[in-house]
Amino acid sequence: MAYTAAPLKVWEECKALTTDYYQAMLSAHAQGKKLAWMGASLPPELIRLFDIVPVAGEPYSATCNFRPHLTSQFMQAADKAGFARDLCCYTRTFLGSILERTSPFGELPEPDFILSIKWDCSTHIQWWSNASRLTGKPVFIIETPFAEEIQERHLTYFVAQLKRLVTYLEEVTGKRLDEEGLVRNVTLAQQATDLWDEILEISKAVPNPLTFKSFLTLMVPAILLRGTTQAVDYYRRLRDELAERVRNGISGIPEEKKRVIWINLPLWFNLNLLKTLDEAGIAVVGSPYTSMWGNIFTKCRPRGPKTNEEFYRFSPPTNADEALREIAKSWMGRSAFSSLEAQRNLLRWLMEEFKIDGVIAHDNRGCKVVPLGQMDNVAWLQQTYQVPIMAFEANHGDPSNFSEGQIKTRLQAFLEMLMRN
C-alpha cells in the first residue's frame, strides 16, 4: 500500500524561524545590534533584552555538521591549528569555522563579545576562551554548581552568577535590565518548554506520527528562540498538528513494526542512516537527547527532604529576582548529567510508557559529557528490560572515521534480532 502521509504544515515555519535566526546574526551590526557568541546553556530570554543577537554555539555547530563538506573543512582547519581530535566536536567545528572565516550562510561575522557558562560541561571554558584568543574579543564566564539534588543554596549561587551576567551586559550595552521584559520572557520560555514536553509525549501514540529525523529538526526553535512568542506559537501549532495526525492514525514511517529509543546525539552528517530504520519499519520514538529541551529531566530528578515537588514547580515571576530564580531552577533542573538516577528515571519513563522493543546507543566520541554513565545505563537497560540493544561508536559531527558500511551491517543484525523478538 502506498504511503500517503501529508508533509507537516509547520515544517516551512520551522525552516523560516531558523533562517531568520541566522539572518539576524548576519545583519546584527548593520541593524545597530550587538552580536554575542555563547554556549546554548546561557539563557537567551535574558540576553535578548539588551538588544543583543545571541548565536548559540552547539546548534550553530550542528548546522555546520549537517553539511559533510563544510564539517570536514572545519575539522581539518581545527586539526591544522593544533586542536586535539578527541576534543568536543562542536568546539572543533566552531573553532574551525572561525579559522576558515566562513559559515553555512556566508562569511562568519565576528561577535562584539563572547559569553560562556560552566554548567554541565567544562569544555565550554576552553571552547570560548580559544574563540576569544582567535578573534581578540572579550569573553565573560559564569558558572553553576553541580548538584544531584538541587537545594536552595545552589539556586542562590546560580542567581548570583546570573546577576553578574546582568551587570556585565548592562556595562557592554549601556542598557538597563528591562524587568518587565524579563518576567515576560521567562514566562514565555516556560510555556515553550511545557509545549515541547507535550509534543514529546505525543510519541507514545502507536503509530508514532513523526520520524525521529523530523523531531531533531523541529526541536531547534526550542533552543534558538527560547523566551519568544514565536517559539510558543510555533510549538502550539506543532502540538495541535501532531495531535491531529494521531487522531487520523498517520504514521511517521510507512509501516511501524517495532519501536526503539536512541541514546546520545545523532550523526548530524549522516541523518540518512535513520532512513534505514524507517524503511525497515523501526520507529525511533524517543531519546534522552530530545528530552533535554523540555522539563522532563526536572521531573526525573531525585527528590529529597529539601527538594519536594513544589520546589521544582514553575512559579510565575512578578519581578526580576523571581524571574532569575526561575531561570536557575529550570536550568539546573534539566541538567541531565549530574545525576545517574535522573538519567535512569528518564530511561524508565521512555521504556515503560512508549512501548519500546529495543535500544540504539551511540557511543559518541565527539562529546565529553553526554556519554557519561552511558555504558552503565546500557547494561542496566539490558538487565532490566531484556530487549535487543545495538551500541556503536561514532562521532556526532566528524565524519572522518565513520564507516557507513560497517554501521549498516550492525544495524541489519540488530533489525533481524528485533524482528525475531
- Binding interface with ligand SF4 (CB under 6 A): 58, 88, 90-91, 121, 123, 367-370
Shortest Å, Cβ 84 to ligand SF4: 13
Pick the closer one to ligand SF4 by CB: 66 or 385: 66
Q: Which of 289, 90, 301 is nearest to 196 (CA)?
A: 289
Q: Which is nearer to ligand SF4, 185 or 364 (CB)?
A: 364
Task: Pick between residue 237 and residue 368 the one whose CB is nearest to ligand SF4.
Answer: 368
Question: What residues does 364 pair with on adjacent strands?
Answer: 394
Least gap, CB of 225 to ligand SF4 (angstroms): 19
Q: Which is nearer to ligand SF4, 186 or 332 (CB)?
A: 332
Between 35 and 370, whose beta carbon lies closer to ligand SF4?
370
Q: How far is the CB of 117 from ligand SF4 (least distance, A)?
A: 11
SS (H, E, C) the chain: CCCCCCCCCCHHHHHHHHHHHHHHHHHCCCCCCEEEEECCCCCHHHHHHHCEEEEEHHHHHHHHHCCHHHHHHHHHHHHHCCCCCCCCHHHHHHHHHHHHCEECCEECCCCCEEEEEECCCCHHHHHHHHHHHHHCCCEEEEECCCCCCCCHHHHHHHHHHHHHHHHHHHHHHCCCCCHHHHHHHHHHHHHHHHHHHHHHHHCCCCCCCCCHHHHHHHCHHHHHCCCCHHHHHHHHHHHHHHHHHHHCCCCCCCCCCEEEEEECCCCHHHCCHHHHHHHHCEEEEECHHHHCCCCHHHHHCCCECCECHHHHCCCCCCCHHHHHHHHHHHHHHCCCCCCHHHHHHHHHHHHHHCCCCEEEEEEECCCCCCCCCHHHHHHHHHHHHCCCEEEEEECCCCHHHCCHHHHHHHHHHHHHHHHHC
Task: Kindly tell me which of 133 and 275 has the beta carbon lying closer to ligand SF4.
Answer: 133
The CB-of-57 to ligand SF4 minimum distance in angstroms stands at: 7
Nearer to ligand SF4, 123 or 270 (CB): 123
Least Å from the CB of residue 91 to ligand SF4: 6
Tell me which residue of 169, 171, 196, 199 sits closest to 181, measured CA to CA: 169
For the packed helices 179-202 and 229-247, what is the interaxial angle rounded to 10 degrees? 20
The minimum distance between CB 4 and ligand SF4, in angstroms, equals 38
User: Is the Cβ of residue 58 or residue 278 nearer to ligand SF4 in the bound state?
Assistant: 58
Q: How far apart are CA 107 and CA 100, in angstroms?
A: 9
Select 262 or 314, whichever has its Cβ closest to ligand SF4.
262
Q: Smallest gap, in angstroms, from Cβ of residue 87 to ligand SF4?
A: 8
Q: Are 9 and 218 in contact (CB under 8 A)?
A: no
What minimum distance in Å lies between the beta carbon of 228 and ligand SF4? 23
Which CB, 57 or 209, lies closer to ligand SF4? 57
Residues in the chain, how many? 421
Minimal distance in Å, beta carbon 368 to ligand SF4? 4
> Using an 8 Å Cβ cutoff, are 116 and 165 in contact?
no
Q: Could you tell me the smallest distance in angstroms from the CB atom of residue 69 to ligand SF4?
A: 21
Q: Judge whether 57 and 238 are in contact, CB under 8 Å.
A: no
Q: How far is the CB of 61 from ligand SF4 (least distance, A)?
A: 8
Tell me whether residue 121 or residue 332 sits nearer to ligand SF4 (CB atom): 121
